[in-house]
């Protein structure tokens, strides 16, 4: 138990920022560093276990209530969903723009070959 938490009133409150930041950071790290190689396939599971262990430790040490940790995880999940949606939207726009540019270049090349 965190004795200082009871002696000195600290500003811990609902939602757990520790849980929020840890889940968000682990997810982004998983997106950046996981790949098809066999050694990297387990990274999301390892990071997930670390995030879960950190949440249990926050409750065990008395820094947060379980509801605060769960609330932090839910807020992070919402942030992750918004990031994924934004990424897919940008990726779709870039793919569409490159296909439009690619099709106009191929049209110009075909017209040039017809004129010669």
What is the per-residue pLDDT across 28-82, written as a single tens digit (0 to 9) for each?
888 888 777 777 778 888 999 999 999 999 999 888 889 999 999 999 999 999 9
pTM exceeding the 0.85 threshold for the entire prediction: no
Report yes or no: 64 and 2 within 8 Å, Cβ to Cβ.
Answer: no
Q: Is residue 106 part of a domain?
A: yes
Q: What total number of domains does the chain contain?
A: 1
Residue 91 resides in a domain: yes
Q: Is residue 35 situated within a structural domain?
A: yes
pLDDT over threshold 80, residue 105: no
Q: Please answer whether residues 25 and 76 qualify as being in contact, where contact means their C-beta atoms are separated by less than 8 angstroms.
A: no
Q: What dihedral do alpha carbons 94, 98, 99, 103 form, nearest 10°?
A: 160
Please report whether residue 29 resides in a domain. yes
Residue 7 lies in a domain: no
Domain holding 32, by residue range, is 12-115
Is residue 83 in a domain? yes
């Amino acid at each position: 138990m965190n004795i200082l938490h009871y002696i000195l009133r600290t500003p811990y409150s609902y939602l757990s920022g520790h849980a929020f930041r840890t889940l968000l950071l682990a997810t982004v790290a998983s997106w950046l560093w996981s790949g098809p190689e066999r050694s990297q396939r387990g990274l999301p599971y390892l990071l997930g276990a670390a995030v879960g262990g950190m949440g249990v430790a926050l409750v065990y040490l008395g820094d947060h209530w379980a509801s605060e940790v769960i609330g932090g995880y839910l807020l992070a999940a919402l942030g992750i969903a918004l990031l994924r949606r934004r990424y897919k939207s940008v990726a779709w726009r870039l793919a569409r723009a490159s296909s439009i540019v690619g099709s106009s270049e191929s049209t110009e090349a075909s017209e040039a070959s017809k004129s010669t």
